[in-house]
Amino acid sequence: MNKRKVSLLVYDFDGTLVDTLLDISNAVNLVLEELGLRTLSRDTIRKYVGKGVERLMAQSIDGTNYADLPCAVELFRKHYSKNLMNHTRFYPSGREILDHFHDKKQAICSNKPEDFVRRILQSLDSTECFDAILGGDSLKSRKPDPEGLLHLLDRFQCSPEQAVMIGDSPVDIETGKRAGVYTCVVRFGFGDSKEIDAAGPDCSIDHLTELKHLFY
């Protein structure tokens, strides 16, 4: 496959650059325990990550007799805020790939609340790697609405052909396609492989170092 020239790399966060699953799962289960509900396996919670905190908690309490979603969301924010970095780390070569593309514009477009993204990046000493950081509450809409991605293209005066959206789920692929941007999916993240295949990304990788061979 020929290398593709890009000037902007836009990354999803959870499941793409950073492995946050254990800390998210533990926070969800702390909420469920506090509410007197059954806890969930990490694999079950993995399927709920990626569409924002509200959706995460809505799915986590689904099938129970608990109906106060705003309270569940607030409890999650409380527990997760206290336990952001217990187990969270870059995926292998995550920081290396950010350094490799330091001469490009790099941005995050996540459905995670922006404050959590920034706090994690600060703990990983890598905030300065990014020219822009968008969370699920940064703009009016969230992925798969392409608003965030289009905002980044406009901000950096970058054509869709010169950008790539890198994520781990069908949500990221749909976002990129709706913005007319090339899509690259990582296979090691939280997304289901069959759903990823059905979404039809332009390319896929098994390790972040492969980005060096795909883009320049």
12 among known catalytic residues: yes
CB 52 within 8 A of CB 136: yes
Tokens of 208: 């972040």
Count of helix runs (H) and strand runs (E) in the chain: 10, 8
User: Distance (Å, rounded) from C-alpha 3 to C-alpha 37?
Assistant: 50
User: Distance (Å, rounded) from C-alpha 159 to C-alpha 167?
Assistant: 19
DSSP 4: B
Q: Which of 15, 55, 10 is CA-nearest to residue 146?
A: 10
Q: Residues 6 or more apart from 184 whose CB is under 8 A from it? A: 164, 165, 166, 167, 201, 202, 203, 204, 205, 211, 214
Q: What is the dihedral of CA 168, 24, 100, 162, to 10 degrees?
A: 40
Instruction: Determine which one of 12, 14, 19, 168 is catalytic.
Output: 12
Q: Which residues form the catalytic set?
A: 12
